[in-house]
Amino acid sequence: MEIDNKAQRASIRYEPDESPPGPLAFSLGLQMALLCVAGIVLTPAIVIRAAGGSETYLGWAVFAAVIVSGASTVMQAVRVGRIGAGYVLAMGTSGAFIAVCVTALAQGGPAVLAALVIASSLFQFLLSARLSLLRRILTPVVSGTVIMLIAVTVMPIIFDLLDDVPAGANPVAAPISALGTLLVVVTIALRATGVLRLWALVIGVIAGSLISSLFGLYDIQRIADAAWIGVPASGWPGISLEFSPVFWALLPGFIFVTLIGAIETIGDSVAIQSVSWRRPRAVDFRAVQGAVGADGLGNLLSGLAGTVPNTTYSSSVAVTELTGVASRRVGVALGLVFIIAAFSPKFLALILAIPGPVVGAYTTVLLSMLFVLGMKIVVQHGIDYRGGVIVGVSFWIGVGCQNGVIFPEIVSEFAGGLLQNGMTAGGLCAILMNLFVMVTAPPRREIELPLTTSILPRIREFLALFAARDGMGNLIASRLELASEETLLTLIDENDDAQPARNLRLVVYRDGSDAVLEFIASPGGENIQDLLTVIKEGPSEPSADREVSLRLLRHAASSVNHQQYHNVDIVTIRVKG
């Protein structure tokens, strides 16, 4: 593992704060744009075509989506205040919203869709501000289950595109075009390595389009009629402020999918931090909050512009890891390329002309990978029998509701048909079961104190009482006392007396044979995980006294996790039984 870490550090050519040459930054931004722009354009095309929307609205929605994606990508990179991650995170239209957006367009129209996107974006701002409160609810088991159900919910819509061809077309045109696209993408993905694998989807779409053009499915006339430079003359649908029954019936679904989009953004913002620095760092959850905030801003702009919502794209993480260039200048260049591309109707028409069978095959691969990503999230973070029950029951309830085989008469009437969406039904089931596990868990004992060294005697007394009541042995009781003392001393910044007084809430609970301590304090100071890494890997940077505390903490605790948010610091210490 040490060799891998050193290799990773050596591969980082430019960290986020460093500035590569302008031509290098622009070329990398252009490459990322080529990887992402097809998804940005095709998602609104899928939604509007599936809902039977007009070509005029389609042209406007695509133009607006590309503009908003560019602006929010720049915002992610530059980080203004608490908005933006400060990393290279490509933003684009979200496939998770396909199902609910199709329903909103079909039942209420584009103006109602715009109002729903704006309303759900406000929820995302709230989520960004209070992200720390959801750390025990949005567990890997819950988020992984919901991500798997996204594929289940959207797949029927995508399969409908496989035979979406003009009347009178050759009967074999659709299956051959779809199969050709799928074979090219899968072959490259399975056998290629390095840069070529990143281009698998793009190459597959090009190959499928060429095959479909042999049958006359590719709309070449649309490209010929489009101008090289221009802006849609009309198409903005406005915003419905009537708040009709359709709006209220669909709002819970939009808020829930917004939560799912936030989970995806959280995952991407954590991943990009792991590949952007030469020295391994603890995850900065303030940057994660900023990423969710920029996602919310992008959705607000999407609603105001009358197009579909957006989210972060994981491909930017892969490109950053491959190239070793994590400079924010690349993110700015990427956003500018998006904005420039939006003003070229011919370029956008080139993508919009792609036939339905090709789009269906392309999206099938993406959603399949999304399903596997959900499985990985569940498995990689560990799953016990409780997690297995939550995942299994929630997933199959979601599948059953999506296919209308679970008490369809009742489900269709409940909450305006909210549970007919498999992702919503299964996701709510997972959250409710997780909440049940939390409520029925062994009691959590806590105490609130000022964050000063004078509280050590009270903490010792508090932990001794916990150990006695819960039947913990003397060894684990002494380790708890040692871990709490050294964590407290490390949290207190003795060199900064100008800081306002900080409060501490100490929570302790039993997890099987282990004991878990949570130090919840107002923000301030350095990240303890980073300090532990420093003393482990080389010459010590902390003071001598602090280094002693850190080494004792490493001896007493089996794991230390320090999450820093804008509004709170949370240090979780696990002591093995």
**pLDDT of residue 539 exceeding 50:** no
Q: Above pLDDT 70, what percent of the chain?
A: 86
Per-residue confidence (pLDDT) for residue 534, from 0 to 100: 47
Work out the pLDDT band at 339, boundaries 50, 70, 90: very high
Q: Are residues 26 and 132 in the same domain?
A: yes
Nearest to 63 by CA among 93, 87, 83, 24: 93
Work out the pLDDT band at 296, boundaries 50, 70, 90: very high
Q: Above pLDDT 90, what percent of the chain?
A: 12
Query: Could you identify the residue written with the tokens 């949290």?
Result: 491
Q: Are residues 412 and 495 in the same domain?
A: no
Q: Are residues 350 and 432 in the same domain?
A: no
Q: Are residues 540 and 391 in the same domain?
A: no
Cβ-contact 71, 295 below 8 angstroms: no
Examine residue 194 and state whether it is found in any structural domain, yes or no: no
Q: Are residues 130 and 252 in the same domain?
A: yes
**pLDDT of residue 535 exceeding 50:** no
Separation of first and last alpha carbons in the chain: 26
Examine residue 372 and state whether it is found in any structural domain, yes or no: no
The mean pLDDT of 514-542, rounded to a whole number, is 62
pLDDT in tens, 312-327: 887 677 677 766 778 8
Pairing of strands 445-450, 559-564: unpaired
Q: Are residues 401 and 536 in the same domain?
A: no
Examine residue 204 and state whether it is found in any structural domain, yes or no: no
Per-residue confidence (pLDDT) for residue 549, from 0 to 100: 56
Examine residue 183 and state whether it is found in any structural domain, yes or no: no
Q: If you write DSSP's letter for every residue of 502-523 in order, what string do you get?
A: -EEEEEEEEETTEEEEEEEE-S
Per-residue confidence (pLDDT) for residue 547, from 0 to 100: 56
What tokens appear for 100 in the block? 């609910």
Q: Are residues 308 and 387 in the same domain?
A: no
What tokens appear for 282 in the block? 């603890």
Q: Are residues 70 and 108 in the same domain?
A: yes
Work out the pLDDT band at 3, boundaries 50, 70, 90: very low
Give the H/E segment covering residue 272: helix 245-274
The mean pLDDT of 430-434, rounded to a whole number, is 89
CA separation, residue 359 to residues 205, 206, 481 (Å) = 8, 11, 60
**Predicted structure pTM score:** 0.72
Examine residue 52 and state whether it is found in any structural domain, yes or no: yes
**pLDDT of residue 46 exceeding 80:** yes
What tokens appear for 474 in the block? 């003397």
Per-residue confidence (pLDDT) for residue 336, from 0 to 100: 92
pLDDT in tens, 111-146: 999 999 999 999 889 888 888 877 777 777 887 787
Examine residue 366 and state whether it is found in any structural domain, yes or no: no
pLDDT in tens, 212-245: 888 888 878 878 887 888 888 777 888 888 888 8
Q: For residue 549, what is the domain's CATH number? A: 3.30.565.10
Per-residue confidence (pLDDT) for residue 170, from 0 to 100: 84
The mean pLDDT of 262-284, rounded to a whole number, is 78
The average confidence (pLDDT) of the chain is 80
Q: Are residues 412 and 521 in the same domain?
A: no
Per-residue confidence (pLDDT) for residue 6, from 0 to 100: 47
Q: Are residues 453 and 481 in the same domain?
A: yes
Q: Are residues 239 and 155 in the same domain?
A: yes
The total number of structural domains in the chain stands at 3
The mean pLDDT of 510-525, rounded to a whole number, is 79
User: Which domain, by its residues, includes 397?
Assistant: 383-441
